Amino acid sequence: MSAWASPVLGQGNVTRIVVPYAAGGQSDVIARALADSLQNTLNRTVLVDNRPGASGLIATKLVQSAPSDGNTMVLQTATFAASPLLLKAANYNAETDFEPVAMIGLGPSFLMITDSVPARTIPEFIAYARSVPDGIECANSGINTGGHISAMMLEKMTGIKLIHVPYKGSAEVTRALLSGDVKMQVSVTTDSLNPYIKSGKIRVLGVTSRERTALAPDVPVIGQFVPGYAADGWFGILAPPKTPLAAREALSVAIKRALEEPAVKERFIASVVEIDHQGPAEFARTIRRSIEHFKKISADLGLIPQ
């Protein structure tokens, strides 16, 4: 694909994609796939900058205060829309304090258990969990993050008891699952998890989306067994406040081109992310819908900002 340099991007020859999670996780993998392609398309260096911690807020705050010249972006998940409702430290408005660039894909989460749990279906897992009155240890990547919320929804809607254990990243969660420190999680898949899913040491029982995902067609929908349960997820690129629309549209076009490349498609499929591009205006509407979705979940679960 021929390179082109957009006249509406900022000075310099470096564009940065900030990732709120550690290297090796799902967000990191797809960010690097995009960066490799954008480097050629934009005719400039594109760096992935991992800034994990504080339930994603370290990266989010960094980009919130970055120059609005189109040279800095952040790869966010739907948790971005939930954090201001659930974390006191967030202190940002998900609808107005960042500028949407592009949604890049849909990434449902999965209910996963270790092979020490005597269950192979969702009904068997619920029955087992109800037989453990002290609760089952459940990993997440931070209190009130997407995985934590999805697990709490499952807990409330089935009457089971979970012990929520936060970790800093997917690699830590994988080690905790394999060591037996925790027995389950509701999360996206990662490169560190996939070998153990294939070997059967970690079992995938259900998907959180409303419909089965084409990327894991044999995995049933949790809502089939827990009526009303659904927690869709997306991945998207946002820019600092006041980043001009022209710059964001140019980046969105470049991202759309990247998502059409076979090598990028392969990395997304391997990461169980379904490519779905939206431009700035449509992505803004998706963010608004997510905010309303999380407001309802927050009210239903009685969540209090931490």
The rounded mean pLDDT for the chain is: 91
Residue 57 dihedral angles phi and psi, to the nearest 5°: -75, -25
pLDDT category at 8 given cuts 50, 70, 90 is low
Q: Which residue has the higher pLDDT, 191 or 239?
A: 239
92-124 pLDDT, tens digit each: 999 999 999 999 999 889 999 999 999 999 999
Q: Give the side-chain half-sphere CA count within 13 A for 237.
A: 35
Is residue 134 within 8 A of residue 162, CB to CB? The reply is: no
Is residue 31 within 8 A of residue 21, CB to CB? The reply is: no
**5 has a pLDDT exceeding 50:** no
Share above pLDDT 90 across residues of the chain, in percent, rounded to a whole number: 68
Instruction: Please tell me the pTM assigned to this model.
Output: 0.82
Provide the token pair at 70. 């189109």
Q: Which residue has the higher pLDDT, 172 or 48?
A: 48
233-251 pLDDT, tens digit each: 899 999 999 999 999 999 9
**279 has a pLDDT exceeding 90:** yes
CA-wise closest residue to 112 among 212, 57, 36, 193: 193
Sheet with strand 136-140: strands edge to edge? 162-166, 136-140, 184-187, 110-114, 202-207
**286 has a pLDDT exceeding 50:** yes
Task: Tell me the domains of the chain and their CATH numbers.
Answer: 14-107+233-301 (3.40.190.150), 110-224 (3.40.190.10)
